[in-house]
Amino acid sequence: MFHFDDKDLKLVLAVDRCGNISEAARAVHLAVSSASARIGELESRLDVRLFERRSHGVRTTPAGEVFVRHARKMILEAEALVSDTERFRRTNTALRIASNVNALASFLPGDVGRFMTAHPDLSVTLTHFSRASELLAHVALGESDLGVTASPGDFAGLRFLPYETDRLTVLCPLDHPLTKLHRPVRFTEALEYEYIGLTSDFALERIVEEKAAEAGISPRIRMRVGFYATARLLVTTGVGFTIQPAGCVPADFSGAMLELDEPWSLRELKLCVREGTLATKPEVGLLIDSLRECSAERQKLHFSAQN
């Protein structure tokens, strides 16, 4: 009788979805060499080819498609089994949240803290992901119970719900020429000045580079840093300007925060979850309701402040 390792099953599902062993390995937190060896060993044991290797990735064979279908059922049934039996022995439920950097640096911690105060029997693990594709794969594979992402909302097996809206802003020194405009700043106007960028693993930095390329302008990068807080500190010392979501900027920021006048500056944060998770782990549904209630309250306060 064959024994199938849970890690192998999730790896096969990831390879089938990604069409690439390297991307699949990252999604399930394995080295590429280890992932390739696992696939090879599984194929050897089954004596069938699950994937056809090509110069640019892999393609799932007919035998692989059958394996994928059954693997998905096995994972869901195993999770249901664990969920149904755990309620008889656990006194503390752990919820796992995968978040992008923006949410983790702004609204999410406070919203989660409020939920935990109301549910002292629950514990939460917050993990941040710089790449949306890896975050979504983590949730789809059941490695996280809930995801918070700015992804458009199209990923097989996941349900997306609106959470929060944030806007990208231009941060610059108080005496910066952009502050003399006395109006929202166009992206091309900001690019005339020295820019403090983020490292390439930030989704926001990839957006900035993409929009600069569309405009045919190379940003005047003065420095790259790996933290929002570091970029803000450099802004206040006069090094240059940077771009960050308004929700990530603390109230005591001593520079200028200017509105970015671009249609893509509005960021829609969404919650993503597997339907199966809502059925087997009802606490996740309670968390979703709580997060969305916090967002609705913020919107009411914002509307009241404007009127």
Q: Where are the beta strands (DSSP E) in the chain?
A: 51-54, 57-60, 93-100, 122-129, 146-149, 158-172, 194-198, 220-225, 242-245, 256-259, 266-274
pLDDT of residue 18 exceeding 60, the answer is yes
In terms of Cα–Cα distance, which of 292, 28, 85, 107 is closest to 20? 28
Q: What percent of the chain has pLDDT over 90?
A: 54
CATH number given to 93-164+267-306: 3.40.190.10
Kindly state the tokens that stand for 31: 């080295």
Other beta carbons within 10 Å of 294: 20
CA–CA distance, 132 with 110 (Å, rounded to integer): 22
pLDDT tens for residues 38-69? Answer: 999 989 988 999 999 888 889 999 999 999 99
| Interatomic CA distance for residues 276 and 77, integer angstroms | 10
Predicted confidence at residue 304, as pLDDT, reads 58
- pLDDT reported for residue 303: 58
User: Domain residue spans in the chain?
Assistant: 6-86, 93-164+267-306, 166-266
Q: Please, which pLDDT band fits residue 305 given cuts at 50, 70 and 90?
A: low
User: Checking DSSP bridges between strand 146-149 and strand 93-100, what pairing results, if any?
Assistant: parallel
Q: What is the band of 146 on the pLDDT scale with cuts at 50, 70, 90?
A: very high
**Residue 181 and residue 221: Cα distance in Å, rounded?**
22
Choose between 232 and 166: higher pLDDT.
Answer: 232
Q: Average model confidence (pLDDT) for the chain?
A: 89
User: Which CATH architecture is the domain 166-266 placed in?
Assistant: 3-Layer(aba) Sandwich (3.40)
pLDDT digits (tens, 9 = 90+) for 216-264: 999 999 999 988 999 999 999 999 999 999 888 988 999 999 999 999 9
pLDDT in tens, 90-103: 556 789 999 988 88
The answer to whether the beta carbons of residues 27 and 147 sit under 8 Å apart is: no
| Equal fold, 6-86 vs 93-164+267-306 | no
CA dihedral 143, 226, 271, 14 (to 10 degrees): -40
Give me the pLDDT at residue 201, please.
Answer: 76
- What's the pTM? 0.62
CATH class of 6-86: mainly alpha
CA pair distance 118, 9, nearest whole angstrom: 37
Q: Residue 76: which of 287, 274, 284, 283 has the closest Cα?
A: 274
